[in-house]
């Protein structure tokens, strides 16, 4: 039964890592990163719900007079 030749595995693994590193570096270098991000204030529009216009009072059992 022939033995598996593993002498080239190290070179293949190292070249694979090098190729992946170069590919990721090229992908990351194409992104534009903003150095001074500015806050954009967004105004939230208040929606009037029907239950907000009515006066309601909630009685909790612990707050009832004894």
Question: What pTM does this model have?
Answer: 0.45
DSSP per residue over 17-44, as a string? HHHHHHHHHHHHHTS---SSPPP---PP
Domain coordinates of the chain in residue numbers?
4-61
- Which tens digits make up the pLDDT trace of 44-59? 777 666 665 555 566 5
Q: Write down the pLDDT at residue 1.
A: 65
Q: Write down the pLDDT at residue 40.
A: 72
Q: Write down the pLDDT at residue 3.
A: 83
- Which tens digits make up the pLDDT trace of 2-44? 788 888 899 999 999 999 999 999 999 888 877 776 777 777 7
């Amino acid at each position: 039964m022939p033995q598996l030749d593993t002498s080239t595995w190290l070179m293949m693994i190292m070249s694979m890592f090098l190729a992946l590193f170069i590919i990721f570096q090229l992908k990351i270098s194409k992104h534009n990163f903003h150095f001074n991000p500015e806050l954009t204030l967004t105004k939230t529009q208040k929606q009037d719900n029907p239950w907000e216009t009515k006066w309601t009072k909630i009685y909790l059992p612990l707050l009832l007079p004894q």
